[in-house]
């Protein structure tokens, strides 16, 4: 399911560390990795030369740090607008997963600061793993999937099962946050058994086909806040969340500013989660 990974590096953050952690997972070990660094356009030849040299060093350092089988890793140094180049290279190589660092900026801050990860998140339809600069990347054992009735959530579950099915001692956590409080207190975590939650029952059945016995939890309140709270409370190492394809319908080359500024569950979680977040895409 994940055979081609695009790792976009800038010389800062934990993206390389995240990939190295992923490569310890049996199902990922044979995946091919392309390490990309983008050199922004410069105003002078001297500045351009300096940036190319700096970019080459960043790639070399990343490849040395990753220490992967030479047959499974390649590098690309390219000039252009980073957000456009990342999307273009991902399409060229037909990447199954994009890994990027993130400063964890909120939506409006991301627009004003020209955040690369935010724009790639907007414009790409591919699964994207965001690693904030201020989190600690841990060995992946405990994986949580935020479940609902969407196809995106089902895709997340499939990705999670692909990742952890061969990890000894791993735990899959399936969570469902109910916005209808129904008299329950906000912030309460309840363990759920088969037959108690239709959303989770289907997910449990699929997990068991893979030989995985999940822990299922439910809570109620604002979905974004509760998903982040659950991930922290349960000491999750990786959170998977479904996200619709939010590219504008009129022109894919323009960012959908209206939706960017508006309310978004995935925007909230990517900013506030205390662990790496993998966003799986569906068109719609």
Instruction: Give residue 244's pLDDT.
Output: 66
The CATH 3.40.50.620 domain(s) of the chain lie at: 4-132, 142-283
Out of 3.40.50.150, 3.40.50.620, 3.40.50.920, 1.10.10.10, the CATH code matching 4-132 is 3.40.50.620
pLDDT at 45 over 60: yes
Q: How confident is the model at residue 110 (pLDDT cuts 50, 70, 90)?
A: very low
Segment 240-263, tens digit of pLDDT: 999 865 544 444 444 444 344 445
**Which alpha helices (DSSP H) does the chain contain, by range?**
15-22, 45-66, 82-93, 107-112, 116-123, 151-164, 198-209, 223-233, 257-261, 265-272
Lowest-pLDDT choice from 2-6, 99-103, 168-172, 208-212: 99-103
- Per the prediction, the chain carries an average pLDDT of 84
Q: Are 149 and 178 in contact (CB under 8 A)?
A: no
State pTM to two decimals: 0.86
Which architecture, in CATH terms, is 142-283? 3-Layer(aba) Sandwich (3.40)
Q: Which residue has the higher pLDDT, 144 or 114?
A: 144
Mean pLDDT along residues 26-52: 92
């Amino acid at each position: 399911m994940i055979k081609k990974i695009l790792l976009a590096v800038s010389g800062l953050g934990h993206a390389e560390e995240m990939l190295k952690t992923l490569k310890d997972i049996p199902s990922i070990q044979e995946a091919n990795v392309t390490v990309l660094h983008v050199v922004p356009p410069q105003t002078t030849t001297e500045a351009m030369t300096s940036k190319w040299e700096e970019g080459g060093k960043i790639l070399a350092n990343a490849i040395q740090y990753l220490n992967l089988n030479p047959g499974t890793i390649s590098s690309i140094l390219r000039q252009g607008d980073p957000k456009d180049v990342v999307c273009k290279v991902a399409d060229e190589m037909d990447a199954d997963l994009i890994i990027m660092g993130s400063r964890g900026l909120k939506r409006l801050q991301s627009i004003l600061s020209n955040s690369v990860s935010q724009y790639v998140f907007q414009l790409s339809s591919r699964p994207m793993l965001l690693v904030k600069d201020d989190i600690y990347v841990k060995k992946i054992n405990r994986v949580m999937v935020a479940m609902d009735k969407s196809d995106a959530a089902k895709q997340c579950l499939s990705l999670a099962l692909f990742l952890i099915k061969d990890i000894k001692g791993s735990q899959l956590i399936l969570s469902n946050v109910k916005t209808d409080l129904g008299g329950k207190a906000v912030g309460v975590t309840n363990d759920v058994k088969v037959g108690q939650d239709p959303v989770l029952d289907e997910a449990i059945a699929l997990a068991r086909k893979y030989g995985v016995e999940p822990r299922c939890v439910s809570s109620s309140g604002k979905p974004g806040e509760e998903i982040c709270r659950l991930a922290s409370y349960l000491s999750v190492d990786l959170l998977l969340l479904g996200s619709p394809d939010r590219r504008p319908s009129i022109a894919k080359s323009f960012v959908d500013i209206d939706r960017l500024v508006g309310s978004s569950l995935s925007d909230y979680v990517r900013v506030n989660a205390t662990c790496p977040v993998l966003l799986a895409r569906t068109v719609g």
